[in-house]
Amino acid sequence: MGSEVSSDPDEPSVAEAEVDEVKCLGRQFLIMHGPWLTRRELIFEVALDGDYDKQDQFKDTNTMVQGQLHKIRGLLPEKYHGDAFTKKWFSRSVSNGWVYLFKCTDTFC
């Protein structure tokens, strides 16, 4: 059995394999959608809107962020479609998947 990550005392431990899986999916999202990423600091500060209409994606900042959230969700296996977006480990794992790629593009490596 794999080790578990306990990053927040208020949340149950998460298997390290799940954290790694989400981190890799975060990298995949950034590679595919990074050039169009808007307000990345808001992505996990906004709740996923079930009534979001992708036709409105570029209407304003909120709809742009919703579009990004829905694209991230589209990359995820269904086991993360529930309340994963409300979990700190989840948003931290996706964001950690971006760290190297942002550093690389910020320094032209």
How far apart are alpha carbons 5 and 17 in whole angstroms? 9
Please tell me the total count of domains within the chain. 1
How far apart are alpha carbons 37 and 71 in whole angstroms? 11
Q: Does residue 89 lie within any of the structural domains?
A: yes
53, 104 in Cβ contact below 8 A?
Answer: no
pLDDT in tens, 51-102: 999 899 889 988 998 998 888 888 888 888 877 777 888 888 888 777 766 6
Q: Does residue 10 lie within any of the structural domains?
A: no
Taking the whole predicted model, whether its pTM rises above 0.85 is answered as: no
Q: Which domain holds residue 79?
A: 16-106
